[in-house]
Amino acid sequence: MLYLFYHYFHINLFQYITVRAGISFFTGFILTLYLMPRYIRWAQKRRANQPIYKYAPEAHQAKSTTPTMGGIVFLTSTLIASLVTIRFDNFYAMGAILTIVLFALIGLKDDLSKIRGGKNEAGLTSRGKLLLQIFAGVIISGYLCYGDFSTDLYIPFYKYPLFSMGYFAIVFWVFVFVATSNAVNLTDGLDGLATVPSIFSIMSLSVFVYIMGHAILSNYLLVPNIKGVGEVTIVATALVGSLIGFLWYNCHPAEIFMGDSGSLSLGGFIAYMAIITKNEILLILIGFVFVMETVSVILQVGSYKTRKKRVFRMAPIHHHFELKGWAENKIIVRFWIMALMSNLLALITLKIR
């Protein structure tokens, strides 16, 4: 919308992605700060509380009265801030909006089922959630292919593509969408634990998005120049601003949880940004905390099924540290530190090619 002021009224300020990104950031932040306390009061009256998983550590039962689905609020703020600032004719920005909406709808269905059923197990089955995630991944991957998006596969530290994936790219991208959305969902188990690593991941990927959309910077840093992709920076900054506003209420002790509507959408958006910046492999480092949480679950389940022994006291791994006696705040902050360090390392790869 703001871009129209440049197009029709020749206000040059609004042609710049950096200016509109700054506006989207503060719009998302302020909207979330305004809407969240009102949503919390409404959710408390409606008893839209977070059902606690029956096998979670005992201390978590005290959180059963905490409202959930806060993701709907910060995602709404993100969408409003984005639609005010992006160019509607930009293919990649509209794909980002599509990604947020599709994965938010899956999470919303899961959250509502849990609330109505009064227990965590009343949500979508693992199979049902997986099928919906695959469906969303296919739609977005198909959208990218329809727009003639390159299917070349890149790896960190190497400036040339390894090969073109062709139609196999759809299968690979769907895997990235499913894996990332589930990884963020698994991490969302302590107050603010998934929020800050998501902010770091989105900020790192925003740097890649902006550089790859900039002809001069992309040429200087030897990364692919993808025309138009820089506009996604605006959606990303809107989401970061909204997440910071959400963190105001989600930090320990949390007044609100994001729910699956938030975590699945965050994971889907992070996957989308990784795909359009050719960073599907580097995402392992960018989302290191999410990968660590997911691997801990895989190891735990695999070990128990094959050896009848557990690797951790409980999985995901943040529960393991809880049962070891670590304070919740200590676990959260240490995971935040790991997320920050891994993202700084990921950004270093920009120059080493």
109-130 in b/e burial notation, b at 16+ Cβ within 10 A?
Answer: bbbbbbbeeeeeeebbeeeebe
Mean pLDDT of the chain: 92
Where do we find the tokens 């809407």? 35
How many helices (H) and strands (E) in the chain? 14, 2
Share of the chain above pLDDT 70, in %: 92
Q: Cβ–Cβ contacts within 10 Å for residue 291, how many?
A: 18
SS3 19: helix
Between 137-146, 263-272, 302-311, the lowest mean confidence (pLDDT) is in 302-311
**Position 11 confidence tier, pLDDT thresholds 50, 70, 90:** low
Q: Which two tokens stand for residue 338?
A: 């790991």
Q: Dump pLDDT digits (tens) for 204-213.
A: 999 999 999 9
Task: Give mean pLDDT, residues 23-43.
Answer: 96
Classify residue 194 by its DSSP letter. Answer: T
Q: How far is C-alpha 185 from the chain's CA centre?
A: 9
Query: From CA 316, how far away is CA 290, in angstroms rounded?
Result: 10
Query: From CA 270, how far away is CA 180, in angstroms rounded?
Result: 7
Q: What is the pLDDT of residue 223?
A: 94
**41: Cβ contacts below 8 Å, ≥ 6 apart:** none
Between 39-48, 58-67, 225-234, 250-259, the lowest mean confidence (pLDDT) is in 58-67
On the CB side of 332, CA atoms within 13 Å amount to 18
Q: Dump pLDDT digits (tens) for 174-219.
A: 999 999 999 999 999 899 999 999 999 999 999 999 999 999 999 9
Question: Are residues 262 and 201 in contact, defined by beta-carbon separation less than 8 angstroms?
Answer: no
Rounded to two decimals, what is the model's pTM? 0.95
Q: What is the pLDDT of residue 17?
A: 92
